[in-house]
Amino acid sequence: MRRNVAGLVVVFVGAAVMQLAISNTYLRYVKPGMRWMLLAAGAILIVLAVADVLADTRKKPGEHQADDGHGHGHLLPRAAWLLVIPIFALLVVDPPALGADAAQRQSPVAAKPAVPKGNSFLGESTAGAAPVPLAVRDYAVWAVWEKESMKGRNFQLTGFVTPGKNGTWYVSRIGLTCCVADGTAFMVEARGQTAPPKNQWVTVTGEWAEPTKRADGDVAALTVTGVQNVTPPANQYE
């Protein structure tokens, strides 16, 4: 790869990384905390490429020849062309945040937490109280492992629709720790309503229901009384 072409590819990579961070598109791929790192990385790449091209241009032709003797210029690695592929994927495929397809590849069973997160804030009030909005990842765990405190209560969950087998469907969210490679699906079986289209974002309200038994564990469930279509949040992960 020629040096100026290399500079161009690096500028494009840097610009793509910065654009992701500025436009919030990065939230589809990594956790929010990585924003400043992406901005810094993109800026460093652009500065590097511009500095390199400028320095290369400033040289007189004679110096350029001597410079090649040291091995850069035409010796820049061919592997660098591969860097164009993720840019291609970003620009052309425009990969969405992980959704129902990724969730369907995982089990809807919520693992027992090592140290359970407390849900004592739910308090004592029960019947007739307004639905409590909860994160899907919290409900999916509590509905199975903290049954007693959840019984008879109304909850409100927001997530995307993942179709299951035989007409069942799940309100689901993907949890991220670092990037999409470690995305974990949290799924709550929605009972009593027909399934909205796959990947539709919904806010459901309903009452806790007895978890569904499966061979690999129990799946959280909710007897849904109200389904409302909503627009996806800026950060689709929990």
Partner 1 sequence: MSTPADSAEATGERDSAAATADPDAPVGPPPAPSTEPEPPAEKEPAGSSIAFTLTLVLLVALALFGRRIFSGLFTDDGVRTWATMFVGVTVQAMPFLVLGVLLSAALTAFVPPSFFAKALPKHPALAVPVASASGVILPGCECASVPVSAALMNRGVTPAAAIAFLLSAPAINPVVLASTAVAFPGQPKVVVARLICSLAVSMVLGWLWLLTGKGSSWLKMPKNRHAEGTAKLEVFRSSMLHDFLHAGGFLVVGAAAAATLNVVVPRSWLDHVASNLLLSVLVLGVLAVLLAICSEADAFVAASLTQFSLTARLAFMVVGPVVDVKLIALQTGTFGPKFAVRFAPATFVVAILFSLLVGWWLL
CB of 179 to partner 1, least distance (A): 4
Phi-psi region of 83 (alpha: psi -120 to 50; beta: other; left: phi over 0): alpha
The smaller minimum CB distance to partner 1, of residues 39 and 122, is found at 39
Subset of residues 172 to 201 that bind partner 1, contact rule: CB under 8 A:
177-182, 184
Of 218, 205, 209, the residue nearest 141 (C-alpha): 218
CB of 9 to partner 1, least distance (A): 7
Report if residue 22 touches partner 1, rule: CB under 8 A: no
Q: What is the DSSP letter of 106?
A: S
Of 116, 187, 108, the residue nearest 149 (C-alpha): 116
Report if residue 231 touches partner 1, rule: CB under 8 A: no
Report if residue 79 touches partner 1, rule: CB under 8 A: yes
Number of residues interacting with partner 1: please give it, by CB under 8 A: 88
Alpha-carbon gap, residue 59 to 75, rounded angstroms: 18
Interface pick for partner 1 out of 22, 24, 32, 89 (rule CB under 8 A): 89
CB of 234 to partner 1, least distance (A): 17
The DSSP H or E segment spanning 137 is helix 136-145
Report if residue 98 touches partner 1, rule: CB under 8 A: yes
Interface pick for partner 1 out of 86, 133, 226, 233 (rule CB under 8 A): 86
Alpha-carbon gap, residue 185 to 220, rounded angstroms: 13
Alpha-carbon gap, residue 43 to 56, rounded angstroms: 20
Interface pick for partner 1 out of 23, 61, 128, 194 (rule CB under 8 A): 61
